[in-house]
Structure 1
Amino acid sequence: WKWTWQSGQAFTPILGYYVEKLPGDPGSTFSTIPGARNSGRYPVYDRLDIGVVRHGKFFGRDMDIFFQIINSYNKKNIFIYIYKLGSTNNGKDDDGDWIEKDHDANGNGQPDVGEINVDEEDEGRIQEDPLSLFPIIPSIGFTIYF
C-alpha cells in the first residue's frame, strides 16, 4: 500500500472581472482580475493506493501478476479551479443552488424563470468550480522479465 499526503498547492485566484468595450469595436473583451501570485492554496491532497503482487514463472521466465486500486477511498482531490460567470437573466440556475424538492414550483423537475434561486443576483458573480481528477481506479496486469 502507499498513502500520499501533501499540503495544498499554491495557485493564483481570480478576484473579479471587467468587460472592456472600445469605441468603434463591435465586440467586447472579457478580462479577469487576478489576485496576488500564488496567494491561494488548494485543499490538502491525499489518497491511498493498495495492491497485491504475485510472483511466479511463465515458460521459464520470471513473471509478476498484480492487482491494484488507485485512490481506494475515492477522495475528490482538487486538481484545478474552473472560473465561471453566470447570468442574472438567462432563465437558468447558474450557481447550482436550486433544489428540486424545495424550489420546483412548476413541478417539472427543472429550474424555470421566476422560481426561487433562478436568475438571482449572485449568479452575475464569478464562481469557482473545483475540478478533481483520479476517481477510484482499479487495474490488473502482468510483467514478464526477459
Structure 2
Amino acid sequence: MRLTSFTDYGLRALMRMASVPERAFSTAEIADEFGISRNHLNKVVQRLARHGFVATRRGAGGGAILALPASEIGLGDLVRLLEQDQALVECFSPDGACCVTPVCRLKGKLYAAEAAFLAELDRSTLADVALPAPAPAVA
C-alpha cells in the first residue's frame, strides 16, 4: 500500500505534536523540521482541525496542538480521514471505469488487503508512534 504525501505529512505532524502534547507547534516549525511544504502541511492541519484531532490558535504562542490524548487517536482513523477520496485503485472510486469490472476477481482481493491494512493500523494509536521530545534549544 502506498499512502499519499497528504497522509504522510499529517502523520509526521501528529507524531511530533504527540511528543510534547501540551505544546502548540507552528506549521512552519514542523515543515522546517521534516523538510516538507508548509502550504501543503497547512491544508493537512486544517483537515485535522475540522475533524477534531487538533486544535489551532492564531497569534503569538499559537499553532496546532492535539485536541485529544494521543492514546485516544487511532492510526486507522487518521489514515481513513487523510486518505479520504483517494481510492486504492481506479475501480474503487465512484467514477472509476474499468473494462474488466464485470469479470474481475482482483477487486475483492484488493478490498480485503485494504481492510487488513486498516485493521492493523486500528490496533495502534498515535501514542504508540509518538516521536521523542525534541531536545531543548541551547543558547
Higher strand proportion? 1
Higher fraction of helix? 2
TM-score norm. by structure 1 comes to: 0.25
Which structure exhibits the higher relative contact order, with contacts defined as CA atoms closer than 8 Å and separated by 6 or more residues?
Answer: 2
- TM-score normalized with structure 2 length: 0.25
